[in-house]
Amino acid sequence: PLNPALVVLSPFEDPRLPQSIAGYGVDYTWHLSVMNAGEPRGYQDRRTVDRERISKAARMLDATTWTVDAIDRGRWQVVSAMKKPNRVTSRRAFSVQGATQLAGDFNGDGIDELALFKDGEWLIDINGNGEWDRTDLWAQLGSVGDLPVVGDWDADGKDDIGVWGVSRAGDGAAIEREPGLPDTENRLATKPKNVPPRQDEESLVRLMQRGSTGDARSDVIDHVFRFGTRGDQPIAGDFNGDGVSTLGVFRDGDWVLDTNGDGQFDAKRDRYAEFGKAGDIAVVGDFNGDGIDEIAVVRGDKVIVDSNGNGRLDATDKVFEIQGEGQSVVVGDFDGDGLDEAAFYAVRTGSDRSDGANGSGDSAQSDGQDEGLRQARSR
């Protein structure tokens, strides 16, 4: 089944995201970009740009050598939520200091891959081997202070990228033209839902290059929405099973989900839930394999899943441990079985650094707790 990825972040307090400036309210907007594994809507010559533009934009990446300095090589420790008995496996992963880890099925093979986001720059392990190499995908979308999300914005079975943060010049005009996502429940009577703006309507763009020898290209931002406010956690997931990821926000146990994808909150058409409490971290995933994402929260070393889908925390909800308290959790389908699992990141030990280079480096792990960094994001 199609399981679009989602990313959720801890409550974000940052002086670069002011709630008001000189008495004026600050709007927060979403910028969503269709990736299609590095070639959105196929090859288009007019979208190619000089590689020098990539070199100037890249910060984590040395675009000349296609390498990343100070990369940390570790492992995702993966804990299955619904399998009996709970089994811990691991797979190779990497990180960079200050970057956010995310998971998504960026190549459409049914298994989620790793992505890193930092200050608007994306590193995507498109071949899924757990290493950054010369075939992987680089992109620029967003800027300092933005928070990333991952989801399938066009229902093609491959995940795309997005950011949420303080609105930019041109967002207002883009929102006026916005038809919403191509969700089956989106009834906005506008132009087709998956057609990018005309060239003369473009404001901000997304840069991208797949692999060291690939074409550098610049594409229009596909969707712009305005909702959410400072302190919210942005989320994305497929909440009706139609293959399109839609957006939402979480704060102190309250969830607001734009389930029809029109970019507007409507009490009659969209979904509200009270699941969790202050201090919880929101995560989303298809934990039961039915093609519809469930909401969940991370609380200390536990993940609590709204497994009955009633939007309330009760005795029938699934609870499982993630072996050590994680400030955030990555959720995704890491073995292609259609069920999402939770994972946390651990720095490799000396003996673990010599593992083989085949596939994703998956291996079974004992129930013992590994030393190292517990990071997290969600799907």
Q: Is the peptide bond before 85 cis (omega within 30 degrees of 0)?
A: yes
Counts of helices then strands in the chain (DSSP H, E): 2, 27
**Sign of the four-CA dihedral 265, 268, 271, 275:** positive
Closest by CA position to 322, among listed 91, 76, 126 = 76
Q: Any idea what DSSP says for residue 70?
A: T
Closest by CA position to 76, among listed 305, 289, 284, 328 = 328
Single pTM value for the model: 0.84
pLDDT attached to residue 277: 96
Q: Can you tell me whether residue 142 is helix, strand or coil?
A: coil
- How far apart are the C-alpha atoms of 177 and 157, rounded to whole Å? 26
Residues 6+ apart with CB under 8 A from 171: 27, 29, 203, 224, 226
CB neighbourhood size of 21 (10 A): 9
- Burial status of residue 110 (CB atoms within 10 A of its CB: 0-12, 13-18, 19 or more): middle
- From first to last of the 379 residues of the chain, give the pLDDT tens digit: 445 555 444 343 443 334 433 334 579 999 999 999 998 876 666 688 999 999 999 999 999 999 999 899 999 999 876 666 667 789 999 999 999 999 999 999 999 999 999 999 999 999 999 999 999 999 999 999 999 999 999 999 999 999 999 999 999 999 999 999 999 999 875 555 455 555 554 568 999 999 999 999 999 999 999 999 999 999 999 999 999 999 999 999 999 999 999 998 888 889 999 999 999 999 999 999 999 999 999 998 899 999 999 999 999 999 988 865 444 579 999 999 999 999 988 877 655 554 443 445 665 543 333 333 333 333 4
Q: E-assigned strands of 239-279?
A: 246-251, 254-257, 271-274
CB neighbourhood size of 124 (10 A): 27
| Contact assessment for residue 345 and residue 95, using Cβ atoms and an 8 Å cutoff | yes
pLDDT attached to residue 121: 98
Dihedral-angle region of residue 38 (phi above 0 means left; psi in -120 to 50 means alpha; beta otherwise): left
pLDDT attached to residue 196: 57
pLDDT attached to residue 104: 98
- How far apart are the C-alpha atoms of 295 and 320, rounded to whole Å? 14
- Burial status of residue 42 (CB atoms within 10 A of its CB: 0-12, 13-18, 19 or more): exposed
Helix (H) or strand (E) holding 333: none
| Contact assessment for residue 273 and residue 69, using Cβ atoms and an 8 Å cutoff | no
